[in-house]
């Protein structure tokens, strides 16, 4: 057993690609070795801006010898078949082995012995193959080899390969780069070659040359030292793991340094400052004891500077000051124009070629938001405020600041609205109307915000459905799935009571007289899409899709088919799921399925049940009838009152009588009258269950 070290050194790898590359290298290496029948006891992988490295521990020195068997023709096959097989295997007839198969035919087999190979030979082939096929998201050609487009592609020019098995070099050459024991240390601290002995001294030798090869360790250093620097100033670091990882991807020897900027810049909204620092400069921000942004930044240098970093901090301060001046300029410029005036420029922005401009969209959203408020669908919402907020909600898209930082859409609108003295409810609605943008994002509850956010998402969805631009497979260019999840979350969180179809038609009223078939179909697609999204959304909360189907496909409730009021739908689904997972629920489901199976076999639907005309029912029949007489009105009343737990409790009372019925009563009685009466009783039981949910949809 021995260890293998591989280092692929190149010019600076983009930070965002490093971690995936490190995982890919480990995975591809493991796969290539497995193909040769080798397995390491453990694999560690490392990545820095300038190197991808891997240590495989506990590799055998040779692969095992293996016998490979090739199945040939039957012993009595025509001579041409045999000759072909001998040609392919390079063996003679005498060397073939005869084996009978299951049918008693004799089959010829070639047994080819494959001797074990030296692991170093396997590696010398595997590594170049991995390098040539490496899945970089973007790769390039370089240097004199790039005379042809067939030359090696790598993320940036590949410069060196270290490949050492135990203490021996694994010799290989990839496009003029030959493996060796030498690598380079830190670009500035140790630019000269250093010689690596093998897997055991790699990490420490590089550390001595100012290179921390482990990405996670660099992240730890950055976070800890940034925390220390913050604490020394009595401040708190705003921890941003993505930013820590990015800085770890930009440094081999990370040195966080703290600097100040002019506190006068703090008049600019903190989100702007944070983004300027983060996006443009990759700096960390800090907060003071009161939780406000401090006029301090932390940058992460890649060197231990002679002067302790004074020049670096001074340089970064200057750059930051220029950036923040730009931001402050935008902030002041934008505020000079009222939002209503900005909003006029939305006429120039196309929303979608078939759906008009953003200004057109804004007008539709304003109408919808006002309607949601006027109708009380969003309760306690002032229609005038809802309209005003909706009319201004997209105005910030044409401001300088949002042009610079598109991720501040909404947020800037909120600031500008407040700056011009608009009501808080309007400013909040402008700020938050994009929410929620994903699972786990905060769901608005302020009425005006709910109205605008709901109207915005509904308009997007219904318009794209009306032009038949629905998501397909992995394609969802207009992020309609996300819009639907947002819509659902808003409805459920705020108990907005409206059916899916009413919602759609609020946005696109059906014309009277000759309804547009396209719009009717779009409404159906919209409904199906929302139900589908509910399943996705509720899966995370453990709600079963079959239970949702049982309520959705219920006959004859709202609109066409089942439950279309999302609030009621989910209430019912949750109660049903609780019930079907109890013993009563499971048994009732079993009894229900038994009953429906019997009924399915009948060509004719059973006649109405009336025992008075005929025979004396057995006690279990009488008991079931009594149970149904009691349960049916109870369940119906409970459903009407939206007390779904009570509806389930009513169904639960049927369980024992149904079990007793199946135990004691023969449905298939020779007397046609009894048989038909009992079938009718089963049908009544089924219908009673269907009053609550379509149990046939429930699995198990």
Partner 1 sequence: MAAKPDTLSFQDLILTLHAYWSRRGCVILQPYDMEVGAGTFHPATTLRSLGPNPWNAAYVQPSRRPTDGRYGQNPNRLQHYYQYQVIMKPSPPDLQDMYLGSLREIGIDPLLHDIRFVEDDWESPTLGAWGLGWEVWCDGMEVTQFTYFQQMGGYDCKPVAGELTYGLERLAMYIQGVDSVYDLRFNDAGVTYGDVFLENEKQMSKWNFEIADTEKLFRWFKDAEAECQASIAADVPLAAYDQAIKASHVFNLLQARGVISVQERASYIARVRDLAKGSCEAWMKTNGWAA
Rounded to 5°, angle at Cα 517 from 515 and 523: 95
- Read off the tokens for 144: 């004199």
Q: C-beta of 518: minimal distance to partner 1 in Å? A: 28
Joined together, the tokens standing for residue 414 give 């909120």
Minimum distance from residue 187 beta carbon to partner 1 (Å): 8
**Least spacing, CB of residue 314 vs partner 1, in Å:** 8
Q: Least Å distance between CB 339 and partner 1?
A: 21
CB of 49 to partner 1, least distance (A): 7
CB atoms within 10 A of CB 116: 13
Nearer to partner 1, 280 or 596 (CB): 280
CA distance 115 to 121: 13
Tokens of 411: 């947020």
Measured from the CB atom, the residue of 327 and 390 that comes closer to partner 1 is: 327
Pick 144 or 511: Cβ nearer partner 1? 144
Helix 383-392 with 447-466: angle, nearest 10 deg: 60
Q: Which two tokens stand for residue 61?
A: 């020195």
Q: Which is nearer to partner 1, 11 or 581 (CB)?
A: 11
- Helix (H) or strand (E) holding 23, with range, is helix 15-35
Q: Which is nearer to partner 1, 89 or 159 (CB)?
A: 159
Distance CA 120, CA 675 (A): 81
**Shortest distance, CB of residue 326 to partner 1, whole angstroms?**
9
DSSP, res 267: G
Least distance CB 209 / partner 1 (angstroms): 14
* Residue 426 and residue 417 in contact, taking contact as beta carbons nearer than 8 Å: yes
| Alpha carbon distance 463, 579 (integer Å) | 39
Residue number, 294 or 301, with CB nearest to partner 1: 301
Please spell the DSSP secondary structure of 420-441, one letter per residue: TT--HHHHHHHHHTT---STTS
Using alpha carbons, select from 243, 239, 251, 130 the residue that is nearest to residue 186: 251
Beta carbon of residue 208, minimum distance to partner 1 (angstroms, whole number): 17
- Cβ proximity to partner 1, 310 vs 340, nearer residue: 310
Residues that bind partner 1 (CB under 8 A): 11-12, 14-16, 49, 138, 140-149, 155-157, 159, 187-189, 250-251, 281, 283, 299, 301-303, 305-307, 311-312, 314-316, 318-320, 322, 348-350
* Minimum distance from residue 434 beta carbon to partner 1 (Å): 23
Residue with tokens 């001797």: 115
Q: Residue 526: how many CB atoms within 10 A of its CB?
A: 26
- Determine if residue 327 is left, alpha or beta; phi over 0 gives left, psi from -120 to 50 gives alpha, anything else beta: alpha
Nearer to partner 1 among residue 14 and residue 606 (C-beta): 14
The set of residues, in sequence order, having a beta carbon less than 8 Å from that of 48 and lying 6+ positions away, is 18, 211, 212, 213, 215, 218, 252
Whole-number minimum distance, CB 416 to partner 1, in Å?
A: 22
Cβ-in-10-Å burial (0-12, 13-18, 19+) of 573 comes to buried
Nearer Cβ to partner 1 (11/528): 11
- Say how many CA atoms lie within 13 Å of 121 toward its Cβ: 7
Residue 403 corresponds to which tokens in the numbers above?
């042009």
- Enter the tokens of residue 646: 């009570």
Nearer to partner 1, 187 or 205 (CB): 187
Closest approach of partner 1 to the CB of residue 223, in Å: 19
Cis peptide before 240 (omega within 30 of 0): no
- Element containing residue 407 per DSSP (H, E): none
Residue with smaller CB distance to partner 1, 311 or 521: 311
């Amino acid at each position: 057993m021995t260890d293998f070290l591989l280092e692929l050194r190149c010019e600076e790898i983009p930070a965002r690609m490093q971690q995936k590359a490190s995982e890919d290298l480990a995975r591809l290496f493991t796969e290539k070795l497995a193909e040769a029948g080798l397995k390491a006891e453990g694999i560690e992988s490392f990545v820095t801006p300038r190197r991808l490295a891997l240590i495989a521990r506990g590799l055998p020195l040779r692969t095992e010898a293996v016998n490979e068997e090739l199945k040939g023709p039957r012993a009595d096959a025509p001579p041409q078949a045999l000759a072909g097989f001998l040609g392919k295997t390079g063996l003679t007839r005498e060397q073939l082995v005869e084996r009978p198969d299951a049918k008693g035919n004799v089959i010829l087999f070639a047994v080819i012995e494959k001797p074990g190979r030296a692991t170093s030979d396997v590696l010398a082939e595997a590594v170049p193959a991995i390098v040539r096929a490496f899945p970089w998201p973007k790769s390039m050609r370089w240097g004199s080899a790039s005379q042809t487009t067939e030359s090696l592609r790598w993320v940036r020019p590949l410069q060196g390969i270290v490949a050492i098995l135990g203490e021996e070099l694994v010799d290989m050459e990839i496009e003029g780069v030959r493996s060796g024991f030498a690598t380079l240390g830190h670009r500035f601290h140790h630019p000269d070659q250093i010689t690596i002995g093998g897997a055991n001294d790699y990490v420490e030798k590089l550390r001595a040359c100012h290179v921390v090869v482990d990405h996670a360790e660099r992240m730890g250093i950055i976070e800890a030292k940034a925390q220390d620097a913050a604490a020394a100033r009595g401040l708190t670091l705003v921890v941003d793991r993505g930013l820590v990882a990015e800085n770890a991807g930009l440094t081999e020897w990370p040195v966080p340094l703290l600097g100040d900027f002019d506190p006068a810049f703090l008049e600019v909204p903190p989100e702007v400052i944070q983004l300027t620092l983060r996006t443009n400069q990759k700096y960390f921000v800090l907060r003071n004891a009161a939780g406000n942004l401090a006029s301090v930044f932390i940058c992460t240098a890649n060197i231990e500077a002679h002067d302790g970093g004074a020049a670096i901090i001074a340089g970064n301060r200057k750059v930051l000051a220029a950036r923040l001046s730009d931001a402050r300029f935008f902030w002041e410029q934008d505020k000079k124009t009222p939002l209503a005036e900005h909003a006029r420029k939305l006429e120039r922005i196309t929303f979608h070629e078939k759906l008009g401009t953003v200004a057109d969209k804004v007008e539709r959203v304003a109408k919808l938001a006002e309607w949601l408020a006027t109708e009380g669908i969003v309760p306690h919402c002032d229609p005038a405020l809802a309209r005003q907020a909706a009319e201004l909600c997209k105005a910030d898209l044409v401001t300088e600041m949002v042009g610079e930082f598109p991720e501040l859409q909404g947020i800037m609108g909120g600031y500008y609205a407040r700056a011009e003295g608009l009501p808080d409810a309007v400013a909040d609605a402008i700020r938050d109307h994009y929410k929620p943008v994903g699972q786990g994002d905060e769901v608005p509850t302020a009425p005006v915000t709910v109205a605008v956010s709901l109207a915005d998402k509904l308009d997007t969805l219904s318009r794209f459905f009306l032009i038949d631009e629905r998501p397909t497979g992995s394609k969802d260019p207009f992020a309609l799935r996300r819009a639907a999840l947002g819509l659902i979350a808003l409805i459920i969180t705020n108990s907005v009571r409206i059916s899916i179809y009413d919602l759609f038609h609020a946005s696109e009223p059906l014309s009277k007289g000759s309804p547009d078939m396209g719009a009717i179909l779009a409404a159906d697609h919209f409904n199906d899409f929302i139900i589908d999204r509910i399943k996705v959304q509720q899966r995370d909360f453990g709600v079963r899709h079959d239970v949702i189907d049982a309520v959705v496909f219920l006959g004859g409730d709202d609109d066409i088919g089942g439950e279309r009021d999302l609030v009621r739908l989910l209430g019912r689904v949750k109660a049903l799921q609780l019930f079907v997972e109890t013993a009563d629920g499971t048994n009732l489901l079993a009894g229900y399925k038994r009953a429906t199976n019997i009924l399915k076999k009948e060509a004719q639907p059973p006649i109405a049940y009336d025992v008075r005309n005929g025979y004396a029912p057995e006690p279990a029949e009488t008991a079931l009838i009594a149970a149904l007489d009691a349960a049916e009105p109870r369940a119906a009343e409970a459903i009407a009152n939206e007390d779904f737990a009570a509806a389930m409790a009513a169904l639960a009372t049927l369980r024992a009588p149904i079990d007793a019925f199946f135990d004691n009563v023969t449905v298939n009685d020779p007397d046609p009258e009894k048989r038909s009466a009992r079938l009718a009783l089963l049908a009544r039981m089924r219908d009673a269950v269907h009053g609550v949910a379509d149990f046939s949809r429930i699995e198990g």
